[in-house]
Amino acid sequence: MLQRDPAKRASLSEIEGHPWLQGVDPSPAGYTAAPLTSHRSLLPEEHEFILQAMTSGSIADRDAIQ
SS (H, E, C) the chain: CCCCCHHHCCCHHHHHHCHHHCCCCCCCCCCCCCCCCCHHHCCHHHHHHHHHHHHHCCCCCHHHHC
Write down the pLDDT at residue 30.
60
Report the alpha-carbon distance of residue 3 to residue 1 in Å, rounded.
6
Write down the pLDDT at residue 17.
84
Write down the pLDDT at residue 24.
73
Chunked into runs of 10 residues, the chain (66 residues) has average pLDDT values of: 82 84 69 65 85 81 74
Write down the pLDDT at residue 32.
64
Write down the pLDDT at residue 43.
86
Regarding pTM above 0.85, the answer is no
